[in-house]
A = this chain, B = another copy of it.
Amino acid sequence: MEKVSWKGGALLAPLPAVMVSSGTLEKPNVMTVAWTGIINTQPSKTYISVRKSRYSYDLIKNSGSFVINLVPSTLVKACDFCGVRSGRDIDKFKFCNLTAEASFSVDAPSIAECPLSLECRVSEIIELGSHDMFLADIVSVAVKKDLIDQNGRLALEKAGLLAYVHGEYFTLGKKIGSFGYSVKKKRKPNKVKIDKSKKS
């Protein structure tokens, strides 16, 4: 076998590295997490896993809300900074030139510079060891208008999001497929030819 076996480790990739805002509009905080994902479609549910020691932990636990802000690669430095520095020591919004704005549905503020924000209300906290998992309902989604095309479709590929792979940040590259494309029937190209011949 050409594989070796290592002990268990958190080696899932690529992951979203997202900036999670919490607290209030007057006293906002932001931290970066990669331990996040969608856990349910109907109703829409997500989670973030957070160490008890983090400054955001109590802010989220006490208010019951947080916002997951998707991160474009242009904000990679702020994203990284908000994952390694604590809101106990520094105003990360200010330091990173981020703007806190009121969310539509929750008390926790959102980040104006991020293209899409998931506004979340905590439904359950599960202790797992190093981290506690905050399960949450995605109560609404705030989207920058310029990501919505003329047909009302979300063109999220235009957001230039970053991906996190085993301690490194990457841009997204080229599109290589769409959900379901592997089973789509191809249109027969000769149909067009036949139509043409009819016209001539």
Task: Decide: A49 near B44, CB < 8 A? Known: A12-B18, A14-B161, A165-B157.
Answer: no
Residues of A126-181 whose CB lies within 8 A of B: 128-131, 133, 137-146, 148, 154, 156-157, 159, 161-163, 165-181
Q: How extensive is the interface on chain A, given as a class?
A: 35 or more
Q: Report the minimum CB–CB distance from A131 to chain B (whole Å).
A: 5
- For A76, list chain B residues within 8 Å (CB): 176-177
* Copies per assembly: 2
Residues of A59-96 whose CB lies within 8 A of B: 68, 70, 73, 76-78, 80-81, 83-85
- For A7, list chain B residues within 8 Å (CB): 140-141
- The answer for the CA separation of A86 and B162 in the assembled complex, in Å, is 32
- The answer for the CA separation of A28 and B1 in the assembled complex, in Å, is 18
Which A residues lie at the B interface, using CB under 8 A?
1-16, 18, 34-47, 49, 68, 70, 73, 76-78, 80-81, 83-85, 101, 104-105, 110, 116-119, 128-131, 133, 137-146, 148, 154, 156-157, 159, 161-163, 165-183
